Amino acid sequence: MLTQVSLEHILLLSAALFTIGILAVITKRHAVVVLMGIELIFNAANLNLVAFSRHDPQLIQGQLFSLFVILVAAAEAAVALAIVLRVYQHFKTANLNQIVSKEG
Amino acid sequence: MLFYIFAAIAVLSGAYMVLTRNLLYAGFSLLLTLLSVAAIYVLLFADFVAVTQLMVYIGGVLVLILFGIMLSSRVHDKSVMSENTNVGWGITISLLTLIGLSYTIWQAGFSSLPWIQQAGTDVLAGQKSTVQLIGVKLMTDFVLPFEIASLLLLIALMGAAYIATDKQKV
């Protein structure tokens, strides 16, 4: 009964999450919130991979790919937050617009 | 039915993440979104991916993000609030993206693709858990990406530690 979720509905959910991530990346000024938007985009992509992996006759290639995506996302988040911390120590702000205007 | 409940939670808390101005509220609503996406993974026969999502995203990335919020803003003053910028353009672009993606998904008719029809609804329904399958695949077909991933993690660890150290104090 639980398995009857159609593929299109999962893809639509993933499209909605992707859109929310895009919106966060475009409209937010704080660097950390932009990172959260990027994480949402990664999640949307993972949802697609897992959804198609359910029908994969060669068994769970999509799930393996989504595992690697999660791994790369974790590495990206660590490095990006380290950069944000350095930028905050240097400019005394994590606001992207102020950083751009300070650098000229 | 459960899928739609979790999907609604994911979308609503994601929307709240964008709408709220408080960084901490945004972080915790991201937590809710990630949790419900993990629940959806379980419903899609991806139990190992769901557990990895819990451990890596919620146990790792989200804690890192909360640390980032606390270290890059003073909680008591205004800098924990995040202003918006480019709101008009952002809403326009994301609405266009949503409409375009939904139209494409609607028109593509993925459910009637031959290989999906051939595979039936659920290839994995016979499996009790995907852990053994993933382990075997990682050690056979995917052993090269697996090793490269470990190298990438090492590089990211060293790079993050190097970037975050305070060079003036050393």
Q: What residue in A sits closest to B145 (Cα-Cα)?
A: A68
- Cβ contact (<8 Å) for B72 and A47? no
Domain end (from B10, B43, B76): B76
Interface size between A and B, measured as CB pairs under 8 A: 250
Query: Whole-angstrom distance between the N-terminal and C-terminal Cα of chain A?
Result: 59
Domain extent listing, chain A: 2-103
The residues, any chain, with a CB within 8 Å of residue B129's CB and separated by 6 or more, are B47, B48
**Per-residue pLDDT tens digits for A28-81:** 888 888 999 999 999 999 999 998 888 877 778 888 999 999 999 999 999 999
SS3 content of chain A, % helix, strand, coil (to 5): 85, 5, 15
Chain B contact for A83, CB < 8 A? yes
Of A15, A19, A64, which has the smallest distance from its Cβ to B142's Cβ?
Answer: A64
A75-95: burial string, b at 16+ Cβ within 10 Å, e else = bbbbbbbbbbbebbeeeebbb
SS3 content of chain B, % helix, strand, coil (to 5): 80, 0, 20
Residue A1 is predicted with a pLDDT of 42
Fold that domain A2-103 belongs to in CATH? Helix Hairpins (1.10.287)
In-domain check, residue B23: yes
Convert chain A into a string of H (helix), E (strand) and C (coil).
Answer: CHHHCCHHHHHHHHHHHHHHHHHHHHHECEHHHHHHHHHHHHHHHHHHHHHHHCCCCCCCHHHHHHHHHHHHHHHHHHHHHHHHHHHHHHHCCCEHHHHHHHHC
Q: What residue in B sits closest to A13 (Cα-Cα)?
A: B7
In-domain check, residue B116: no
Domain end (from B76, B92, B109): B76
Same domain flag for B72 and B7 = yes
Classify residue A58 by burial, with Cβ atoms within 10 Å: 0-12, 13-18, 19+.
Answer: exposed
Output the pTM of the full model. Answer: 0.89
Rounded to whole angstroms, how far apart are CA atoms B50 and B46? 6
Q: Which residues of B touch A27 (CB under 8 A)?
A: 18, 84-87, 90-91
Residue B120 is predicted with a pLDDT of 64
Rounded to two decimals, the ipTM of the complex is 0.88
Q: What is the block-wise mean pLDDT of chain B (170 residues), using blocks of 10 residues?
A: 91 92 89 94 89 91 88 68 81 93 88 74 68 89 92 93 78
Question: Which token pair is A10?
Answer: 């999962």
**Per-residue pLDDT tens digits for A10-36:** 999 999 999 999 999 999 888 888 999
Three-state DSSP state, A30:
strand
In-domain check, residue B162: yes
Of A51, A57, A77, which has the smallest distance from its Cβ to B119's Cβ?
Answer: A57
Same domain flag for B4 and B65 = yes
Chain A contact for B130, CB < 8 A? yes
For residue B6, give its domain range: 1-76
Q: What is the CATH number of the domain that holds B9?
A: 1.20.120.1200
8 A C-beta contact, residue A48 and residue A11 = yes
